[in-house]
């Protein structure tokens, strides 16, 4: 079950079309993933995984989110991250990775061209990131 906040975001996305939501995973599989990898995923991202274990948004030139059960899978050792403090949970079509900081709620965008996280693109949680996708992708709501 997803929160009203996340449901509102999903409903808005569905109106746009061109979304590929993958079947959700389970709380048990999320817990097993966290135990196996020794990471704690952000709570809003875990909620997303229960709804859609990854997926693609705003196709064709949008965002791909990674899952724990469906490919592409989250690789906690992905080398496109700025440091071991981060986990790559997705990527933009440009290749810039979407990051979460280990054991924190924040979501960030890593600008590979300049080799740093843009401080203006650090979000307090996954829902705030999803809400800003229209602006990030330069599309009207």
Domain ranges of the chain: 4-137
Tokens of 80: 């496109």
- Res 16: pLDDT: 81
* CATH number for the domain whose boundaries are 4-137: 3.40.1580.10
- Res 114: pLDDT: 93
pTM given for the model: 0.94
Express each pLDDT in 7-59 by its tens digit: 999 999 988 878 999 999 999 999 999 999 999 999 999 999 999 999 999 98
Going by pLDDT thresholds of 50, 70 and 90, the confidence category of residue 141 is low
Express each pLDDT in 82-98 by its tens digit: 999 999 999 999 999 99
- Res 140: pLDDT: 64
Q: What is the mean pLDDT of residues 73-78?
A: 94
């Amino acid at each position: 079950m997803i929160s009203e906040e996340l449901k509102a975001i999903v409903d808005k996305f569905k109106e746009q079309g061109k979304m590929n939501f993958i079947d959700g995973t389970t709380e048990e599989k999320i817990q097993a993933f966290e135990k196996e990898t020794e990471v704690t995923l952000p709570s809003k991202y875990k909620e997303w995984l229960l709804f859609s274990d990854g997926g693609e948004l705003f196709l064709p030139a949008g965002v791909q989110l990674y899952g724990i059960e469906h490919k592409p899978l989250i690789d906690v050792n992905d080398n496109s991250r700025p440091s071991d403090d981060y986990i790559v949970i997705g990527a933009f079509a440009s290749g810039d990775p979407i990051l979460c900081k280990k054991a924190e709620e924040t979501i960030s965008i890593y600008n590979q061209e300049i080799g740093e996280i843009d401080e203006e693109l650090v979000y307090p949680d996954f829902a705030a990131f999803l809400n800003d996708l229209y602006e990030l992708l330069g599309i009207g709501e």
